[in-house]
Copies of this chain bind each other. A is one copy, B any other.
Amino acid sequence: MPIITLTTDFGLRDGFVGTLKGVILGISPDARIVDISHSIAPQNILEGAYALARAFPFFPTGTVHVAVVDPGVGTRRRPIAARLGDQFFVGPDNGLFTPILEQIEQQQLPSKCIHLTNPDYWLPEVSSTFHGRDIFAPVAGYLSNGVALEKMGIPINNPVRITMLKPQRTDTGWIAHIKVVDVFGNLTTDLPASEVTNHEGTTFSLCGRSSHGLVDSYGHKQPGDLVALIDSENYIELAIVNGSAAQTLGARVGDTVEVSVKE
């Protein structure tokens, strides 16, 4: 059974997500539909990009990922679909797939990107405000049925990318940034754990507080302690044991984290 995932800023109250699923099941009755997130902050492309980037590597070959965070719906922004590595991606061409494109390129996997121009694979009527329902859901349904990507539009090689923060080298270590604040208030940074080789001798400072050394997991310190650790995607994470680092420190996405290594 083909798998289709959904990542949107539609929320769970209004019935928009159910509508997408009705459209998909009408086209691809055997599809397994999996929600990645529908609680992306409205129009926050970066947040949607990271949620999907976190989840997609754990899905089987051939999964079709639909992502709709789409402030430009109904304008000239292109609807696109892509085969990146062995999975498919469908959504607006506004940078939502940037971190996935970067991963695919780093791993030198094949990629093919299509500007969706063939209305044969859309709903008969296309509104100007709900392309999730009218274009992206049906395209995903047909892809999951085995329709070739190439039939759906015109190849492009310049999908839009958003600028993502990158950690910067300093004399004593790095200036990293908070990339994601998760539901626990844990702070994921953009610094790959592989860059921190001195686990005991590194200090992490943000919002006026510091943590010395990396711990293996939250429970290795006392409740309330600020700890630095390697997150489940191999980046440096800051957390308050049994608490919310975001709330305690007032930390937000984009804030800097000073990482200094004692020689």
Contact = CB atoms under 8 A, between A and B. Distances in A.
Interface in A10-69: 10-19, 21-23, 25-26, 29-30, 32-40, 42-43, 50-52, 54-56, 58-60, 63
4 residue pairs, one from A and one from B, having the closest CB atoms: A74-B217, A11-B183, A130-B232, A18-B36
Given A43-B242, A71-B218, A71-B219, A54 B19 contact: yes
A7 B14 CA distance: 10
A38 B133 CA distance: 20
A14 B186 CA distance: 11
A18 B35 contact: yes
Interface string A170-214: 000000000010111100000000000000000000000000000
Interface in A67-92: 71-75, 77
A157 interface: no
Interface string A215-232: 011111000000001111
Copies in the complex: 3
A261 B185 CA distance: 47
A3 interface: yes
A194 to B, nearest CB: 14
A142 to B, nearest CB: 16
Contacts of A55: 15-16, 18-19, 22
A248 interface: no
Nearest to A186: B129
20 contacts: A1-B30, A3-B22, A7-B18, A12-B35, A12-B39, A13-B182, A15-B36, A15-B51, A18-B35, A18-B37, A18-B55, A21-B34, A25-B34, A71-B242, A72-B219, A74-B219, A75-B220, A127-B230, A128-B216, A129-B217
Given A11-B182, A16-B183, A128-B229, 14 more contacts: A1-B30, A11-B183, A12-B12, A13-B39, A13-B182, A14-B51, A14-B182, A19-B54, A26-B58, A26-B60, A73-B217, A74-B216, A128-B217, A134-B232
Interface of A: 1, 3, 5, 7, 9-19, 21-23, 25-26, 29-30, 32-40, 42-43, 50-52, 54-56, 58-60, 63, 71-75, 77, 127-130, 133-134, 180, 182-185, 216-220, 229-232, 237, 242, 244
